[in-house]
Amino acid sequence: MLLTKNIQKHICFTESNVIDVLKKINENKSRIIFVVTEHGHLEGSISDGDVRRWLTEGKNLDLNALAKTVMNRNVKKFLVGTERSVIEKIFHTGVDCIPLIDDNGHLVQLAFQARSGFFLGNREISDNSPSFIIAEIGNNHQGSIELAKELVDHAVDANVDCVKFQMRNMKKLYKDSGKNDVSADLGAQYTLDLLSKFQLSTEELIEVFDYAKSKGVLPLCTPWDLESLKVLEEYGMSAYKVASADFTNFELLEAISNTGKPFFCSTGMSSESEIQESVAFLNGLGANYVLLHCNSTYPTPFKDVNLKYLTRLKEITGQLVGYSGHERGICIPVASIALGATVIEKHLTVDTSLEGTDHKVSLLPNELKDMVVQVRQVEEGLGSDKKPREVTQGELMNRENLAKSLVAIKDIQCGEIITRDLVEVKSPGQGLQPNRLNDLVGKKAERDIAKGSFFYMSDIVGQINKRNYKFNRPFGVPVRYHDFRKIIKDTNLDFVEFHLSYNDMKVDLSEYFNCEESMGFAVHSPELFANDHILDLCSDDPEYLNQSKALLQDVINITKQLNTYFPKTNDPVIVVNAGGWDSKGFIDEGLKAAKYQLIADALNDLDLKGVTIAIQTMPPFPWHFGGQSYHNLFVCADEIVSFCKKNPQIKICLDISHSMMSCNYYGWDLLEFVAKVAPYNVHLHIVDAKGVDGEGVAIGKGDVDFPALMKLLDEVNPKTQFIPEVWQGHKNGGEGFWSALEFLEKFN
């Protein structure tokens, strides 16, 4: 059974429509959705069967019907903290998922029968969660409480989940009260000698546990005997570790299981039959535990690690598995992630030459930090084996530049049959992929195709023709100077948004405009300028910051020049990505206020008279020149509102795609996000998104609920201008824009 607080994919609101409910049921693969109020109060559930019943009984079927009209109000539920055995009895009746509520009836957890795992505090440990990383300090503190705390600090700096120690009652654990027996084997003598010198007292260990908590990291401990377990229980230890030496010690295993706490079991020194025997024993007790593959040699030769045993261990036991390593280096624990390790344990020291065998197999602080970084990178890179492969946004961008397309060898007239001798394959990949050659040949051209022009999918499936559209707000499309005339021809666009490249900054506007235009305009500032300079108005480098300000001032001046050709627009909008990106990670939360202030100060230094700066809402993982970045400025609605209140002259461009990706990443509600920023929004980019970085998805094919969104925008931003900022929408005369406008017009 898995208890999880990650309930977002498994809930809908009472006011959600049936279409949304069905989508969520398909996505979460659990065949059930729990219905809650906007405050999280559990009202009922909707299963596949409930939907079928409603479909067969309903007289006036309406997929826009509200969830509360379809739901089953008699949903089986339990209070948080209910004993596992009580919940598991319900599973035997055929129920797969049970909601757990607090005393006020709010849904806070879900219990799944078909999954394994548990929570340690707020940290989920399961096959679906990031691996739980333990820094094993053990006795590497050398008996010094100061060194123990220093090791805790190093572990915290490495971003581990847990620091682990060991507790022994020498009198209870060893014969003769642990006195060094001169007749004992040399190995036993050495171990007892180390323990006699490097133990911390119970009081000192508890002080270190409290210190770890004060630093925000979970302390755990290995009890080597029943008396130590009793002490740790009195302290309130939240979980335990069973050493390899005790994995066949059923008395201790039972005592730990009886605490009701989860625990981790190293399997070193045990044969497979012994492992299976211990697993059967623990399962009979209903214990929550993880098996850690381990070789108890110090250090373990790489040839003896046998890392592939992880997969067999999981297969033969059906339990969650992890890895506890005594080899040198970090490559083995990092590799264990790819084999299904949900927990990783590695020893930590400040000096590998200190006395004791553990130091020889321990990582130094910088090595532990590197291991954690690489583990998280591997986790991110693993992806899923449950979904078909999709072309990522980065690949789409590179396919544009590096792949090949079908190209016309000579001029082709509208109505002419496209034959094989009229088509060749050439780079770049901005048109129809070569694998569609046979689909293209034999089609009748529905447009004039110039020699050297790309073929597009519309040459196979039919052209999307632009026309006059009807919206109750100003609408436009993005353009460049060179395609402006072609794009606006035969349309009733209210305005255009000029997307400037850094080369466009150098052109003479009189080459493209020679009279006053009858439509409005906006400008999208470049992100990338000459010499690989990405605009950043909050850079900590004064020289870089000043260059960004100067470049944005150039954009402002060009916008004012454009305004002389487009006088219909007062204070034209300039869409700006203000900065705050980083290729290595998100800006620290504690530094964000200063970053926002840098942006405000930078804009105050510019001549903004006659223009309106609209800072674009951003996604968490935008694509910049050189690849994907991290971004957490102008991502959170509350931060955006706070910034705009402090800087009323600065407005917002609400990019629906960007904000949808942010909502997906942080678990926010898009409609709530839009409602919050609406008072400061002067310009809209309306386009779809999927997941946390799926910006290239076709409109209507992603996660945005357009009927609900457009209805809300009519209420909170009734006259705000918009463009469908479709990626590569300008191709083939702007067919992506016309397709998007056709789609959006339905919700007008």
Which pLDDT belongs to residue 625?
59
Return the pLDDT at 401: 80
Answer yes or no: are the C-beta atoms of 559 and 611 closer than 8 Å: yes
- The pLDDT score that the predictor gives to residue 227 is 93
Report the top-level CATH class of 476-745: alpha beta
pLDDT digits (tens, 9 = 90+) for 464-489: 788 999 999 999 999 999 999 999 99
What local confidence, expressed as pLDDT, does residue 584 receive? 81
- Tens digits of residue pLDDT in 269-278: 999 999 999 9
pLDDT at site 706:
94
The whole-number average pLDDT for the span 656-675 is 95
Q: Is the pLDDT of residue 508 over 90?
A: yes
Query: Residues of CATH 3.20.20.70 domain(s) within the chain?
Result: 130-382
- Amino acid (1-letter code) at residue 153: D
CATH, domain 2-115, list 3.30.1360.170, 3.20.20.70, 3.20.20.10, 3.10.580.10: 3.10.580.10
pLDDT tier, 179 (very low <50, low <70, confident <90, very high otherwise): low
Residue 462: what pLDDT?
A: 83
Average pLDDT over residues 527-547: 93
pLDDT of residue 177: 47
Q: Give domain 130-382's CATH architecture.
A: Alpha-Beta Barrel (3.20)
Tell me the percentage of the chain whose pLDDT exceeds 90: 63
- Look at residues 530, 520, 465 and name the one whose alpha carbon lies nearest to residue 498: 520
Query: Is residue 12 a contact partner of residue 24, using CB atoms and an 8 Å limit?
Result: yes
Which residues, in sequence order, are CB contacts of 450 under 8 Å at separation 6+? 408, 411
* Geometric angle at alpha carbon 676, from 525 and 719, rounded to 5°: 65
Confidence of residue 628 (pLDDT cuts 50, 70, 90): confident
Q: Where in the chain is the domain with CATH 3.90.1210.10?
A: 394-461
Chain-centroid distance of CA 166 in Å reads 35
Confidence class for position 56, pLDDT limits 50, 70, 90: confident
- Cβ contacts of residue 641 below 8 Å, gap of 6+? 676, 677, 679, 680
* Burial of 24 per CB tally in 10 Å (0-12, 13-18, 19+): buried
Where does the chain hold its CATH 3.10.580.10 domain(s)? 2-115
Least confident of 98-112, 370-384, 420-434: 98-112
- pTM tops 0.85: no
* Mean pLDDT of all residues in 420-428: 94
pLDDT of 94 over the 80 cut: no
Lowest mean pLDDT across 129-133, 357-361, 613-617? 357-361
pLDDT at 383: 85
- Split at pLDDT 50, 70, 90, the class of 281 is very high
Ranges of CATH 3.20.20.150 domains, the chain: 476-745
For the segment 238-262, the average pLDDT, to the nearest whole number, is: 93
pLDDT for residue 175 is more than 60 = no
pLDDT for 189:
45
Q: How many residues does the chain have?
A: 748
pLDDT band at 684 (very low <50, low <70, confident <90, very high): very high
Contact 683, 522 (CB under 8 A): yes
User: Selecting from 1.10.10.10, 3.20.20.140, 3.40.190.80, 3.90.1210.10, what CATH number does the domain 394-461 have?
Assistant: 3.90.1210.10
> DSSP label at 584?
S
> Whole-angstrom Cα distance, residue 566 to residue 720?
19
